[in-house]
Amino acid sequence: MIASLGMYDFGAAQAANDRLWALIRTGLRGRGIDAPDALTRGEEAYWDAWQSPDLILSQTCGYPFRARLHGKVTYVGTPDYGVEGCAQGHYRSVFVARADDPRESLADFDGARFAYNEPLSQSGWAAPQVHAAKLGIRLAPTLQTGGHRLSALAVVEGQADIAALDAVTYALMQDGGLAAGLRVIGVTDPTPGLPFITATGRDPGPVFDAVGEAIAALAAPDRAVLHLKGLVRIAAKDYLAVPNPPSPGQIAAPI
């Protein structure tokens, strides 16, 4: 059996996620569901886990869920992180630039060098590109970094002018002192947050109950570290209704 919580799993969050998983594991086993002792981490925590018939629980991103995983996995529920300005279970991206960049608004970054984690990221690619198109500006895909923290570093180091980071990741970075040298210059519209999933054909009800009970039982300091407030259900149609942007290859980079 496989379980992974890799989307928000760095710094102090790793130990907190281990304690959260211990509570979930107990709840699952108490319901007669086989659950692994430990979380899977590293590259195997993502696509390999999400597509495995042995998946008990993982967390994916909204874009992979609607573009590739819907119908191939079972939706469990969506954690609520209490993101400011968002409904329960929803989140948004924050646009970040260097703290000393003189540009004041997102519109001032029209045509700027944009760093993004990957083309199938809701917060790092899809949401910011949809938002930019709505404003009538272009964020040129200059650098694919492989991760939100790497996108932030690319901005700090001057390899890019702007990046969009998941608001929860950015909060975790601020907690760990990893957001120094950055400032927020805008936010996207809210979209459904990162869903918990299990293998296709598995009953999501007992898994939802085990996760919800574990979040409620998690020690307050760990909930604070994870910014975790609770667990909600969001209709699949709400995920599927989120617009998909052009791919990076369809958006011209600056010359």
pLDDT tens digits for 169-194?
999 999 999 999 999 999 999 999 99
In the predicted model, residues of the chain with pLDDT beneath 70 are: 252-255
Give DSSP secondary structure letters for 112-180: -EEEES-TT-IIIIIHHHHHHHHHT---EEEEE-SSHHHHHHHHHTTS-SEEEEEHHHHHHHHHTT--T
Q: What is the DSSP letter of 109?
A: G
| pLDDT recorded at residue 255 | 47
| pLDDT recorded at residue 251 | 84
Question: One fold for both 2-86+192-240 and 93-189?
Answer: yes
Domain 2-86+192-240 adopts which CATH fold? D-Maltodextrin-Binding Protein; domain 2 (3.40.190)
Whole-Å CA distances, 241 to 7, 191, 232, 236: 22, 10, 18, 9
The top-level CATH class assigned to 93-189 is alpha beta
| pLDDT recorded at residue 59 | 98
Domains of the chain, residue spans: 2-86+192-240, 93-189
